[in-house]
Structure 1
Amino acid sequence: MVDDNKTPESLVSKEINVIEGAQLDARPVPTLDEPDLPHGMLGRVLVKLNIAQNGASVVIKSALFFVLIAFLPLLVLCIFQGTALPGSVKVPLLGDAITLSRLLLVAPILMLSDLLTRPWLIKVAEHFLGTFIEAEDVDDYKSMFKGVFMIRNSVLIDGCLFVLAFVSSIFQASMVVALDISSWQLVGIHSHPVLSIPGWWNAAISQPLFRFVILSWSFDYLLWVYFLFKVSRFKLKVIATHPDGAGGLAFVSVAQTPFCVSAFALSAAISSVVAHAVLYTHMKLQSFTNLGIVFLALMLLIFVGPLVVFTPTLLRTKLKSVFSFGALCHEMSTLFAAKWLVPRAEGDPKILDSADSSALADLNSSYVTMSSMRPFIFNHKFVMTFAVASALPALPLVATVMPLKDILMQILKALT
């Protein structure tokens, strides 16, 4: 005789209660006070000058302010100098792919990308707190969150980044003077070339500001990566049967996806250097193939690699669940066989009137979901999103040696 307390239906009900208890306990869901995440030195200056208020206006006006300071004076000076358009020099300002992409595309996109990434950062932090952090770890988690991102409030950090940006620009000015090519940045190209007035502005103001934006964004992104690493050290309530195939952690990859805009911007910076070399030094595009492969791998390492910190948690959870669910499925299948796969009298209950078969199917479905759990919180489409975003700026260059139709077909094939 089968014990009524150990029927297949009761076992599944018990397992579901255990899972739900682990996922949704009775304690009130804690809240996470959103810190006053700073917008960097430029944003602080605009706020103090009452040019912008805290929020989205700081980001938008910071990007506009950057263009007004870094590019507009160059354009005006080059117009007066006569080097804005082709004719007087081989590399005019409006034909300088590197300068145009850096000042009008790369830096503004990186600054404006904060509007996309910041809200997701807060959502991820709150979701971890409300769903995955144990009750006894709540205070430690809040303290960690505040401590990590308040580092960005440091004026010392901004100062160091600012100095580093200006010091690194000195070497670029020396490289420009050493180039044997007529450019809007130089005068006296045939005898002792020196920086022109717009060249001095570019070396002293525009390029240092560009480097400061790059360094500031990089530092902010490193803080985000460090936050993910710190979270992965907590005991997270990961559920192997979660339908997202990542123990419930797939939301992190969703929040990481907006960074593909930043990947596009960084790739545009590199593509502009290649375009400049192809246009003005007559180098062949094919000679940059290895550089493109290395850069694409680097982009995937930067934007996809940090999510691997959750892989040990996923592997431990799956390994543990294989044994626990395996034992439960074995016990349930044994009870099901003992109850239904034996000779039965005419008056015995019919299997169609029992919930046992449905319970067995539900448990088997849970086991299949658990066994298909991925070792990573992302899938191949996530990886392809960053690969395409990183490769997109190079599309016009590649189109010069490969039909655009074939390129688009390859991209669509990779995304499907």
Structure 2
Amino acid sequence: MTEEHNDNLTDHIEVPGSILTRLVMRMNLARTHNDALLGSALLFIAVTFGPILILSVIDGFETGGLVDMPLHKDLITLSRYLIAAPVLILSDRLTRPWLVKAILRFLDLVDKAELEAFKKMVRRIFRIRGSLAVDLVILVVCIASSFFLKSYSMNIEVSSWQTSVAGGFADLSRPGFWNNYVSQPLFRFVVMSWTVDYLLWIYFLWRASRFRLNLIATHPDGAGGLSFVSAAHAQFCLAAFAIAAADSSVVAQLVQHTHQELKSFTHLGIVFLGVILFFFVGPLLVFSPTLVRIRLDGIISYGALCHELSDKFAGKWLRKRGDKDESILSSPDPSSLADLNSSFDTVLTMRSVVFDHQFVILFIIATCLPALPLIATVIPLQDLLMEIFKALT
């Protein structure tokens, strides 16, 4: 890629992170963006999980046997604050560089007549995400929601570290109060902030698919030269894992404390997997109309060229050899015909999507992985792994 193409576009893509990341940078706890992400994850755990753990111990919920569900048995809380949110925060360390590479790669594919419009589109999208006002709006919404939403565990008919009973009425305990008005809003903020980032990326893909792209039907990647999009998008498998971990904990907690059978959630699990695939794989279908058109055009154009060359080859070597006794072994004609036929085969096998089956399997594995410990309570882990291996092979 030329420096002219870059045109300082990277400056508009490398936008600051969320409020947590900026706070870590302001506190001089990190020098680089990657260090700030790690600091943000640790800060999140310290603010959301640390206080409720300390208060639960002080109030006797952890060691006094006062409740049926102490904090260390609250799978929803543990998965959200120790797995899901930190993974979502740290996933930016992996996804951001790949997304930047993909966006800059588009500069070589967009038609020159539309290149400036493409650059303006990129700057506008990432200027939105770089705005502190967006994060502030998200944060306000998350804080306000705490006054209307109560923690999920309060709806389960077991005594919990989040509630205290006085005079026959249940109310939030001290750790429950912190969880409801501090920890939960911060968790929602991380999830919503990541969602905004992801939706902006999807919007970018949709806008990019509307530009005239110089794609080649004979490209060896089988996607006209767009396989880099799926390579970048595959990094979101970490986010799929985080979301699945949070949702699997809900099922696990219901099974543990309401004694429902795990088999009763089978259909729900299948639906959830379908939703995840739709959410993460579906957006890449925006390029399918272009790929279908490129493939059909390639079949027609390369088919006509193959027919013309094959006809000339047959006329020269099969129908009439001419007076000159030329050996076919020393002629470049067979090699040229074979190369063209190979190109035509590449066109025929070109996909109508930018991803392959391995891409889909990656997201299936990332989604199902958090559920393995739960499934292992019903099916022996060794048998479960054998069935998965057989399914993949």
Kindly indicate whether the alpha-carbon contact (under 8 Å) linking 1:278 and 1:285 is maintained by their aligned counterparts in 2.
yes
Summarize the Cα distance change of 1:313–1:127 in structure 2 as closer, same or farther, 3 Å threshold.
same
Whether 1:357 aligns to 2:338 is no
- Show CA shifts across 1:66-102 (max 9, x none): 0111111111111111112472210000111000000
- Flag the 1:355–1:198 CA change in 2: closer, same or farther, 3 A: same
Residue 3 (structure 2) pairs with residue 31 (structure 1): no
Give 1:46 shift. Answer: 2.4
Q: What pairs with 1:6-405 in structure 2 (closer than 5 Å)?
A: 30-31=5-6, 33-34=9-10, 35=12, 36-85=14-63, 87-130=65-108, 132-173=109-150, 177=154, 179-188=156-165, 191-344=168-321, 347-405=324-382
Structure 1's 86 and 274: CA in aligned 2 closer, same or farther, altered over 3 A?
farther
Distance in 1 (CA, whole Å) between partners of 2:88 and 2:19 is 15
Given that 1:86 and 1:95 are in contact with CA atoms closer than 8 Å, whether structure 2 keeps it comes out as no
TM-score where L is the length of structure 2: 0.95
Q: State which drifts further: 395-404 or 332-341.
A: 395-404
Q: 1:382 to 1:76 in 2, by over 3 A?
A: same
What is the deviation of 1:55? 1.4
Instruction: Output the CA distance in 2 between the equivalents of 1:175 and 1:358.
Output: 69
After superposition, what is the alpha-carbon deviation per residue over 1:316-343, rounded to whole angstroms, capped at 9, x for unaligned? 1011111111111111111111111034
Amino acid at match of 2:137: C
* Partner of residue 16, structure 1: none
Measured at CA, do residues 197 and 292 of structure 1 come closer, stay the same or move farther in structure 2, by a change above 3 Å? Answer: same
Q: Is the 8 A contact 1:177 1:193 kept in 2?
A: no
1:344, distance to aligned residue in structure 2 (A): 3.4
- Following the alignment from structure 1 to structure 2, what is the Cα–Cα distance between the partners of residues 254 and 241? 19
Q: CA deviation at 1:311?
A: 0.2
Assess if the C-alpha contact under 8 Å between 1:180 and 1:189 holds in 2. no
SS in 1 for 2:38: helix
- In 2, are the aligned partners of 1:177 and 1:195 still within 8 Å (CA)? no
Q: What secondary structure sits across from 1:113 in the alignment? A: helix
The letter of the residue matching 1:378 is: F
Aligned AA (2:259): H
Q: How far, CA to CA, are the matches of 2:295 and 2:166 in structure 1? A: 67
Residue type of the alignment partner of 1:31: N
> Which letter does structure 2 place at the counterpart of 1:333?
S
Instruction: State how far apart, in whole Å, the 2-side matches of 1:383 and 1:368 are.
Output: 25
Instruction: List gaps (5 residues or longer) in structure 1.
Output: 1-23
Any idea what the Cα deviations from partners look like across 1:28-65, whole Å, max 9, x if unmatched? 86225312312112222222333333411211111111
TM-score, scaled relative to structure 1: 0.90
**Cα pair 1:74 1:198 within 8 Å, conserved:** yes
Determine if contact 1:308/1:376 at 8 Å carries over to the other structure: yes
CA contact (8 A) 2:217 2:295 kept: yes
Q: Which amino acid aligns with 1:331?
A: E
User: Which range moves more in the overlay, 192-201 or 337-346?
Assistant: 337-346
SS at the partner of 1:194? strand
RMSD: 1.9
Secondary structure, aligned partner of 2:149:
helix
Quote the offset at 1:171 in angstroms: 3.6
Shift of 1:177: 4.8
Partners in 2 of 1:316 and 1:371 — Cα distance?
Answer: 13
- State the distance in 2 between where 1:320 and 1:86 align: 73
Larger CA deviation: 46-55 vs 59-68? 46-55
Give, as a single letter, the amino acid of the residue that structure 2 aligns with 1:72: G
Amino acid at match of 2:62: A
Q: Which has the higher contact order (CA 8 A, sep 6+)?
A: 1
Tell me the residue number matched to 1:11. none
Paired position in structure 2 for 1:14 = none
**Residues 49 and 183 in structure 2, CA contact (< 8 A), matched pair in contact too:** yes
Counterpart contact for 2:153–2:160, Cα < 8 Å: no
Structure-1 separation of matches of 2:334 and 2:286: 40
Cα pair distance change 1:61/1:28, threshold 3 Å: closer
Contact 1:253 1:377 in 2 (8 A): yes
One-letter amino acid matched to 2:241: F
Displacement of 1:135 in angstroms is 1.8
Q: Distance in 2 between matches of 1:175 and 1:303?
A: 26
Compute the displacement of 1:165 (Å). 1.3
For structure 2, the 5+ residue unaligned runs are: none
SS state at 1:188 partner:
strand
Do 2:21 and 2:37's aligned partners in 1 also have CA atoms closer than 8 Å?
Answer: yes
CA distance in 2, matches of 1:86, 1:140: 65
